[in-house]
Structure formats: C-alpha cells, structure tokens
A and B are shown apart, each in its own frame.
Chain A
C-alpha cells in the first residue's frame, strides 16, 4: 500500500520543514517528504489542499476507563475518538478495575485496543499495587508486557520511603516514572486552586505549594537513585524553574502541561461549573501565562490532552462531590490552534509539543516525517468551523466546557502506521 498525500502544508517540527509538499507513505513508513519518488505510482492519493499535514499527536495520559468503568467509556470508542481528534498514539492510564499493576491487564488492554483500529494504545503501568502507594508493582513483568512507563497518577504517595524505593526499582527496570506531583497532605482536602476564588466560593483550596514541594522532593529523590522521571500536568508557575534547573544539571527529567491548564484558569469555574473540576486544579491567570511561556521556551516539553471521559452522573452534583476530569481528545486540535491564535506560541512549537517531544519522552519512533519513520500522520483543516455537540464528538465523555460551542480547526484524516484510522469527508 503506497499513499500519496499532496497539496497540503507539511509541517515537520523535527526537521523544521514548513511548506506545501508531497508526502509519500509505503509499508507503514514515511517514504519521502517534499518530492515524488521517481517512477513510483500511488495506490491511494489524498488531496490535502488547504490542510496541514503533521506528525500525529500523542496523549501522555488518557483515562480509557476499561476494564471496570465501561459506563464511562470503552477502549474501542476512545481509541477511535483519539484518531478522530488527530492522535496516533495515546497512553492509557492504569486507574482501571482491576488496576494495571500486572501483565494480564496490560495484555487485555492491548488486545482490546488492537480490535478498535483507532489510535495506537500504549499502556502506563501502576507504580504501586492497586495505586495504593504502599507496595511496589511487578515492574519487570509490566515492562515485559510492554508498558511505556509507570505512574501513580493523582494518588499521591504519602510515604517518601515508598516513593524513593519505587523510583529506584523503576530505574533498575529501566522504566520512566510519570509523576503527577502533589504533596498528599496539602492536596488532600482541596478541590480548586487556593486563592480568591476558593475563598469566595467556600471550596477548600489546593495551594500551589502542594505541587512545588512535590516537584522539588521528587527531583531530589530521582537524582539520588538516578531514575528517569516525567512530570505530568504541571499546573503552577513555580514548578517550571526547578524542573528547568534540574535538566540543566543533566538530570533525566521531562514535563508536560495539559492543554486545559493552558486554556483555562480558576476563574472559569464561575459559580461551581463542574466541567472545570480537574486535578491538578486550574490555577491563576499568572500561572497560565507562565506555563504558556514555558512551552514556548521548551522548559515544558509537551502538551498533553489528559483525557478523562465521564458519564453524566459523575458531574451532576454539587461541585465538591463531582468527579474531576475533562473529556479532551475531540477538542484538542481546536484548543491547540486557539493557543496559537492567541499568540502563546507558533504552530510548529505547538505541533512539536503535541507530537515530536512526547514521542521522544516515550522513546518511540514517530513525531517526525523523516523517511523511514513510522507513518503516523494527522491532516487537519485549520480554518474549518464546527460545533461540538453529541453528534460531532466521538468520545463517550461529553464532560467538556466546549459543548455546544463553535470551534475552529478540524481533523480531516489520521494515518496510524500507514493505515487510515480516521477519514472524514475525504476525497479519495
């Protein structure tokens, strides 16, 4: 199968390529970029005029809810939603029932994902058994089953001895640990960013200190045991510098920010809108602008979707008793383009943070259009306006603040490993 994609603006952040060009794909790989290979004929031609052709997005933490919470979402539906959102790979989080703390659950997820024929599903294993923060998971077995990293998600580990041992053992198993940094005690009772809004609404706050303390603690422990760590969903301005400093010292550390934290602030909660109940909490405008700058400067490597689909009941309650999380795969591209339009950073930087850098963090091929690389591509119309609603959203989670809004930018097709995983109103 040989595919010719022509007429599109091809942006490859890895090589700095940004021009209208042809992309040829063969046997699941990029065959050429820029010029048609002499004498070859394509089996399939795609006219990408007016579209952007870019390496596919990766989400570093998608909650797929299966097994165990199929009333919220299923692997099949979310993997397809991911492809429709321009993602070629998503990392499934281990907070399933049973938890991904053993090889059997990994194998189950991989099998279900293959059948879905959507985005590629990579698996993050649990750092501790049951995500309870007490016993180490069987990391070598998880590694052999193919996990791309380990995480305890937002279940902060109270005991720093357990944390240190988990980091050390993961280092000997050669696995990256994905940490969502939060001090257990400072974060325990809080629900939103601590400040004027939490005071006015009377909602217990989570101070920025809960994150900054954890970032510094985790960096210190990781350096001591030479673990490779990735910080997920950085939310506070003050977290940026310690991470950048550690990297400058040569420490193996990377970080992402969720697109929601680049898009919204604690003020968007208004009067208890549960769609803005997320973890870590949305913080102040000054945090948001510092995070945007950090992405622009490369101090924060990646932008994640942090997809958390919920059923309607999960959000149908007073704010404090709703479940945190936002459904984001479907609206990732327009929200990312809105950042570019607002001048936060340019489009190649956005695409690098959504694709090239997360591929590097995972140590996987992709995120670039170099001949020989895996053919994971997204093709999108940056000007297409569409309404987000129950009909147009592919995820089963409608818990998005964009519901019923008109958005700009729509994915037209997604190629995963050289196969069309999504193709919308496509001229064949």
Chain B
C-alpha cells in the first residue's frame, strides 16, 4: 500500500475500497514505524525489532550520563487528556534520555473543560511545531483519530486510549518476559483480573499472540471478562487455580475501586479471596514463574504483598524496562522520519 496523507487515508477508509487495518496507518511505505497506535496487526519482525532496540537502549540508564544525542533538536509533546503519573514520567524520561525537548501538557484540566473540541486542540498544538505527540485519552480510538488528524510531519504514540490499547506497555511487558524466558513460543501465560476494562490486557494479548505464545489465558469472573474474547486467541478461565496452573508468567491487572459500585463485583474482600494472587496460589504455577503487574498495585486486592515484593515479582523491572522500550519506539519513529526527510 502506498503511503497517503492522513486525510487521504480517511477518505480511502470511507470509500471502503481499502480494508483499513491498524497497521496501515502506523507503517510507512517501507514498512517502518510512523505512528505507534496499537499492537494489533503489526508484523512479528517489527515487534522483535522494538525489543532488540530496547536491549540496546537499556544500558543507557545504568550510565552516569544517562543521555544519547539521537533526538537532539526534536520536540516531543506529552498530551495527557487523562491523569497519569507513571506513564507520563517514563515517556518524559525516555524522550529526555534521547536528548529531545519535552513539553508536558495536562489537557484534561485545561481546554476540554472550556469546551474546545479535540480537533481544535490538535490544531493549536500543531502550530507549536512539535515532532511527536504522546497521547493518553479516556476514549477508545482517540489515538487513532489523532493520528488521522495531525499534519504529516507529526508522529503519534498512543500512551493509552480508553479500554483499547496501551501499546508501549504491551511491548515493555513483552520485553520483561523475553529477558526472563527468552523463547515466546514455549510459554504458558495467564492474564488475571479486570480484562474487560483493561487496555493493558488488550495490548498484552495482541503482542504475545504475534510473538508466538502458544498458551495464552485470561482469568477472571465473567463480569470482568469481555464477550467473545476467545476471538483474540485466548482461553478463558473463571477459576484462578486452573487458570495459572503451570504458567510461566502471571500478569495481574489493577482492579479499579469503582468496579465495586457498578455491580461487577460484590466486594474487594471477596475478589481477593477468589482472584487475589497469593504465595499459596503461585505454587500452582511453574516453579520459576514470574509475576508481573502494570501498576499501580492494590495490595490485598489483586495481589498479596508477599507476592508483589517476593522473589518471583518483576514488577519494578517492568518500570525500568519501560523507559528503554519507549526510547526504542521514539527513536525508531523519529529516526525513520529523519531518514525519509534526508532522502
């Protein structure tokens, strides 16, 4: 497919002459990353390339001078339409370690409350001549919409859109798993908890399926497992013991407090009793299993402190690796843009 400007892509999409996949808008005509909106539809080679590049960036954080000059003179704007500390901070650090200038905009508190439309907000930000937008938005599909709207010289990284995807989290989780388990094609992995409302779960499922994980499970009560999720290539378990049995990796998801009020669950107490990850339960998993969590964790709700802080937990490594993975994605996108500009 030839690369088209965003409005042309939209038009083609409306025409229905081209079945638009998530990959179409994300890759340029050379198959290089242009935006990073969703993991769905990306080729395995590209995901592997992101992981390999992240390996090269990981040592930067261990140095005294934690900076490489790759993106000097480029401007990255963090557009957070929804509050976030952890994700925004790691994107911020990633961009700074690549020597980019960073603009942090907490839009949730400003323009949208004054009634400005998203399209107008984008036009204003475009006028500030940024090279990249990192976007977090509470509505699924927002990053996709923004990528279609922005000028062709701006790239978009999805920092989480509604319940849809959080692709850099998906990649940092894959990176963490590869560091510990090497070969994806022999793994049993369970994702436990509130899959229905989780963009992390969706990105994890897409990434791990593409990377070849043969036994991928989701575990939770029926109220937290979205309908027809088996179409994404996972097996559904509503019993935690069965779900994590012999697993090499257990990913627990954060349970939002508000789920208790919407009649999805009776109480945090009962949830912990049935679905909380405890040391006892972890004995059902493979002996060398690792435990992951996208954070922030609710101790005593989805995970017991003994597990979260235990030897099998790699939760803090996930945070560290997140910076390297985000550096890799930013460098790949802005790097390929620079090449395209020079050519």
User: Which A residues are closer than 8 A to B by beta carbons?
Assistant: 194-196, 198-205, 207, 268, 270-273, 275, 313, 316-321, 401, 403-405
Measured between alpha carbons, how far is A320 from B141 in the docked complex, in Å? 8
Q: In the bound complex, do residue A198 and residue B14 qualify as a contact, i.e. CB atoms below 8 Å apart? A: no
Q: In the bound complex, do residue B11 and residue A317 qualify as a contact, i.e. CB atoms below 8 Å apart? A: no
With contact pairs A201-B164, A316-B117, A405-B15 given, residues A196 and B141 touching in the complex (Cβ less than 8 Å): no
- A313: chain B residues at CB < 8 Å are 117, 119
A-B contact pairs, 10 of them (CB 8 A): A194-B227, A199-B226, A199-B231, A202-B140, A205-B227, A272-B145, A316-B119, A317-B119, A318-B145, A405-B15
> Which one of B16-24, B98-106, B312-320, B325-333 is at the interface?
B16-24
Measured between alpha carbons, how far is A198 from B163 in the docked complex, in Å? 10
* Residues of A contacting B: mostly: loop
- A401: chain B residues at CB < 8 Å are 14, 16
- A273: chain B residues at CB < 8 Å are 13-14, 20
Q: In the bound complex, do residue A272 and residue B141 qualify as a contact, i.e. CB atoms below 8 Å apart? A: yes
Q: What are the nearest 3 A-B pairs in CB distance?
A: A202-B163, A202-B164, A272-B141
Per-position 1/0 for B219-241, Cβ under 8 A of A: 00000001111011000000000
A312's closest neighbor in chain B, by CB? Answer: B119
Q: In the bound complex, do residue A270 and residue B14 qualify as a contact, i.e. CB atoms below 8 Å apart? A: no
User: Which B residues are closer than 8 A to A by beta carbons?
Assistant: 11, 13-17, 19-22, 25, 40, 117-119, 137, 139-142, 144-145, 149, 161-165, 199, 202, 226-229, 231-232
Measured between alpha carbons, how far is A272 from B162 in the docked complex, in Å? 13
Measured between alpha carbons, how far is A318 from B199 in the docked complex, in Å? 16
Q: In the bound complex, do residue A320 and residue B162 qualify as a contact, i.e. CB atoms below 8 Å apart? A: yes
B140 to chain A, nearest CB (A): 4
Q: In the bound complex, do residue B144 and residue A271 qualify as a contact, i.e. CB atoms below 8 Å apart? A: yes
A317's closest neighbor in chain B, by CB? Answer: B118
Q: In the bound complex, do residue B142 and residue A318 qualify as a contact, i.e. CB atoms below 8 Å apart? A: yes
- A199: chain B residues at CB < 8 Å are 226-229, 231-232
Measured between alpha carbons, how far is A268 from B21 in the docked complex, in Å? 11
Measured between alpha carbons, how far is A210 from B16 in the docked complex, in Å? 29
New A-B contacts (11) at CB < 8 Å, excluding given A196-B231, A403-B14: A199-B229, A199-B232, A202-B199, A207-B227, A271-B21, A272-B141, A317-B119, A318-B144, A319-B139, A404-B15, A405-B17
Interface centre among B140, B162, B231 (most CB of A within 10 A): B140
- A202: chain B residues at CB < 8 Å are 140, 161-165, 199, 202
Q: In the bound complex, do residue A203 and residue B140 qualify as a contact, i.e. CB atoms below 8 Å apart? A: yes
With contact pairs A201-B164, A202-B162 given, residues A271 and B20 touching in the complex (Cβ less than 8 Å): yes
Q: In the bound complex, do residue B164 and residue A404 qualify as a contact, i.e. CB atoms below 8 Å apart? A: no
Q: In the bound complex, do residue A275 and residue B199 qualify as a contact, i.e. CB atoms below 8 Å apart? A: no
Measured between alpha carbons, how far is A39 from B231 in the docked complex, in Å? 70
Measured between alpha carbons, how far is A317 from B162 in the docked complex, in Å? 14
Measured between alpha carbons, how far is A401 from B12 in the docked complex, in Å? 11
Measured between alpha carbons, how far is A89 from B139 in the docked complex, in Å? 39
